[in-house]
Amino acid sequence: MTKVALVTGSTSGIGLGIAKKLASEGYHIILNGLNTPDVANVVKEVDDLGTGEVLFSDADMSNPGQIENMMHMIENKFGKVDVVVNNAGIQFVSPIEDFPVEKWDKIIAINLSSAFHTIRLAIPMMKKAGWGRIINIASAHALVASPFKSAYVAAKHGIAGLTKTVALEAAEHNITCNAICPGYVHTPLVDGQIEATAKARGITREQVIKDVMLGEQPTKQFVKVEEIADLVSFLCSDSATSMTGTCLPLDGGWTAH
């Protein structure tokens, strides 16, 4: 029976890469993200890759009610969700004394609480099916900190704790829960950070890329979206049945030092 995969924040960047990979492997896919004018093209692009159905939900992942509606839509349509990839995320860079309170709340809601909501609503369906895979796209910032990213680092460390807790609770139900912790990947999210980091540190864009971002990564290369998508695919495979509760760095060696 065709498996069903929800990938949150999948209209761009890493989430889109993961959705494409799972679509090409035959999954039904629920894409999610902000409703921008190019969404119809993105849906078609993913749909053309595989044999499963591709649906789009514009649920705002900062809104628990909209997340509930999305999960009920999936249950009504397919009767199950086999794979949940919690990927939606935003960033904001500022010294903590100037960090806008509403930005803190938004980042915690989208980058952390949304995963709590999708997981609490997916687990009953996965238990019923006797199989499930939950994959949280965390960050190297789930393992180490950087200055000026208080909300992001707090949310991602929270995701690491949530991952371990869910893994323990679900272990006897053939449901695994893991986090992938990428280093810098050149997506629209990172592009937006370059300017803000340059301002916060008083340096140029080029210095941010070379010294701040790739300075952290011993390989001196951005991580590729396809590498993350391949790891998601592996975690969904039978070979990863016993792998649960892990936070897997995919960071060019960043967190090795």
Residues with catalytic annotation?
A: 152
The single residue among 19, 33, 135, 179 that binds ligand NAD, judged by CB under 6 A, is 33
The single residue among 83, 110, 115, 129 that binds ligand NAD, judged by CB under 6 A, is 110
Cβ proximity to ligand NAD: between 123 and 223 the closer is 223
Smallest gap from Cβ 70 to ligand NAD, in A, equals 10
The single residue among 6, 9, 71, 157 that binds ligand NAD, judged by CB under 6 A, is 9
Residue owning tokens 């090795």 = 256
Task: Mark residues 59-88: x for contact with ligand NAD by CB under 6 A, - for none.
Answer: -xxx------------------------xx
Sort strands 132-137 and 54-57 into parallel, antiparallel or unpaired: unpaired
Smallest gap from Cβ 43 to ligand NAD, in A, equals 12
Cβ proximity to ligand NAD: between 4 and 109 the closer is 109
Write down the H helix ranges in the chain.
13-24, 39-47, 64-78, 101-108, 114-129, 150-170, 188-201, 205-207, 225-235
Smallest gap from Cβ 94 to ligand NAD, in A, equals 16
Residue owning tokens 């396809």 = 226
**Residue 136, number of CB atoms within 10 A of its CB:** 26
Separation CA 223–CA 226 (nearest Å): 9
Size of the site for ligand NAD (CB under 6 A): 28
Measured between alpha carbons, how far is residue 58 from residues 64, 67, 133 in Å? 13, 10, 22
Token couple for 148: 């000026």
Measured between alpha carbons, how far is residue 63 from residues 67, 75, 157 in Å? 6, 19, 21
Query: Does 255 engage in binding with ligand NAD (CB under 6 A)?
Result: no
The single residue among 27, 56, 184, 254 that binds ligand NAD, judged by CB under 6 A, is 184
Smallest gap from Cβ 130 to ligand NAD, in A, equals 29
Q: Which stretch binds ligand NAD (CB under 6 A): 6-14, 43-51, 74-82, 195-203?
A: 6-14
